[in-house]
């Protein structure tokens, strides 16, 4: 993605310290970051901190004569590709909702026409107050994006909603606003991710090494491209992507039920999960105790979700499967493509360095009935973007096998 100009507004809440990490993340991603601080915010973090992290002068005063001779709040508002206010206090939210512009932050916010994201962070009772909720609804009506506050222990000692989300989650939300090519706007996309768990007894299960990273990267990429994304996910350690409808599942049966019940309304389905092929015929009610000798567990086949989706596929629906192999990659992937009636298979080999479980990269070849394209070794985020562009946008660089 082309690097963008991002304004970060910081208001006077204890969560202002988290904005330091957000600015650092955006800067490391290559964006041109400009920080605007209210007077109250400077009581929590110094402007020098943000200046060092952003490599840009921090703007705190509307009436300073130290800036360029242009109308600074207007020029910066015109330059911005996205505007995030984190933390956003109840005071700022009230001002923004009512068009009040009495400092550099509110003035620039009012003048900006780029996508805007407001991240409320305050005492739980202040957040729940009808006045604050009315102001948030008004901002939404104006087309401003509101990020849901987290719940937990607050600095004031209360427990409830009002915590500022983690900087990585805010950066993820911004990536959706900044992505320029909304080629999936208006589309419904279902993606599966992670591994399933098949219970042997209340303690043990059969599972695999999937971390879910590839599926989550696909969910973020589809969301960035404008799709309404449903992510059916096995257990992972990953945070839910911003703006994605999450459906948590545990077993292969859970995943089959969730996917097949939602499949008819989807424009595209991407099966990136590592679904168990077998499950115990019977799950023990109590923990199985160790005994001398071996243990035999009878297994039966689970539902072949991709094959069932291929059988049900309606006109215009695009079905994408994944194939991880240890040998005969292309032959096995091509066979899977035909047998499952898929439109594309994203194939990778566990033998290729950087393409296995638990790494941040992947090395994928996309196969269709008459084409294939090797993407090479890329980050999983870049791999996800390329898969969507190739399969759902039709950007193909290779015209034959």
**Residue 321 φ/ψ region, left for φ over 0, alpha for ψ in the -120 to 50 degree band, beta for the rest:** beta
**Which of 96, 104, 1, 93 is closest to 57 using CA atoms?**
104
Q: CB within 8 A of 382, min separation 6: which ones?
A: none
Instruction: Give the DSSP letter of residue 265.
Output: G
CA atoms within 13 A on the CB side of 256: 15
Instruction: Give residue 356's Cα distance to chain centre.
Output: 21
Distances (CA, A) of 185 to 60, 307, 313: 38, 27, 21
For 249: left if phi > 0, alpha if psi spans -120 to 50, otherwise beta; the answer is: beta
Torsion of CA 282, 261, 309, 226, to 10 degrees: -130
Tokens of 217: 């990267």
Any idea what the Cα angle at residue 65 is, between residues 90 and 112, rounded to 5°? 45
Enzyme catalytic residues: 156
The answer to whether the CB of 58 falls within 8 A of the CB of 51 is yes
Q: Is 322 annotated as a binding residue?
A: yes
Q: How far apart are CA 40 and CA 33, in angstroms?
A: 21
161 is in an annotated binding site: no
Using the structure block, give the residue that is written with the tokens 């969301």. 223
Q: Report the C-alpha gap between 393 and 130 in whole angstroms.
A: 44
Is 287 among the annotated ligand-binding positions? Answer: yes
Task: Report residue 98 as tokens.
Answer: 């009512």
Any binding-site annotation on 78?
no
| Residue of 241, 277, 271, 242 whose CA lies nearest to 258 | 271
Q: Which two tokens stand for residue 305?
A: 């979700």
What is the H or E stretch that residue 98 is in?
none
* Dihedral over Cα of 152, 156, 161, 162: its sign: negative
Residues of the binding site: 277, 287, 322, 336, 340
Residues of the binding site for CTP: 277, 287, 322, 336, 340
């Amino acid at each position: 993605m082309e690097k963008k100009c991002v304004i970060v507004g910081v208001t006077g809440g204890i969560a202002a310290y988290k904005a330091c990490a957000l600015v650092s993340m955006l800067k490391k991603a290559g964006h041109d970051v400009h920080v605007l601080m209210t007077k109250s915010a400077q009581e929590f973090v110094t402007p020098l901190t943000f200046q060092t992290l952003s490599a840009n002068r921090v703007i705190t005063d509307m009436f300073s004569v130290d800036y360029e001779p242009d109308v600074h709040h207007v020029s910066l508002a015109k330059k911005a590709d996205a505007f995030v206010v984190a933390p956003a206090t109840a005071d700022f939210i009230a001002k923004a909702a009512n068009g009040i512009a009495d400092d550099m932050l509110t003035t620039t916010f009012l003048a900006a026409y780029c996508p805007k994201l407001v991240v409320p962070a305050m005492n739980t009772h202040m957040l729940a107050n009808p006045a604050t909720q009315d102001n948030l609804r008004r901002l939404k009506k104006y087309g401003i994006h509101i990020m849901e506050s987290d719940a937990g222990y607050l600095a004031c000692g209360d427990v409830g909603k009002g915590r500022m989300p983690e900087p990585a989650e805010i950066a993820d939300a911004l990536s959706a606003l900044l992505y320029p090519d909304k080629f999936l706007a208006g589309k419904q996309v279902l993606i599966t991710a992670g591994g399933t768990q098949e219970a042997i007894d209340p303690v043990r299960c059969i599972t695999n090494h999937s971390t879910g990273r590839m599926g989550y990267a696909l969910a973020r990429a589809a969301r960035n491209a404008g799709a309404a994304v449903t992510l059916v996910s096995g257990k992972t350690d990953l945070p839910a992507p911003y703006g994605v409808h999450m459906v948590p599942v545990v077993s292969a049966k859970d995943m089959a039920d969730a996917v097949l019940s939602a499949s008819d309304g989807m424009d595209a389905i991407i099966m990136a999960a590592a679904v168990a092929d077998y499950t115990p015929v019977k799950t023990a009610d109590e923990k199985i105790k160790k005994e001398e000798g071996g243990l035999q567990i009878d297994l039966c086949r689970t539902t072949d979700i991709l094959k069932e989706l291929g059988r049900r596929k309606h006109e215009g629906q695009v079905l994408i499967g994944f194939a991880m192999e240890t040998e005969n990659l292309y032959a096995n992937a091509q066979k899977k493509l035909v047998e499952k009636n898929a439109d594309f298979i994203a194939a990778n080999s566990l033998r290729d360095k950087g393409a296995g479980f638990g790494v941040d990269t992947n090395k994928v070849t996309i196969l269709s009935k008459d084409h294939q394209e090797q993407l090479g070794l890329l980050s999983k985020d870049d791999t996800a973007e390329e898969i969507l562009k190739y399969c759902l946008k039709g950007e193909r660089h290779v015209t034959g096998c």
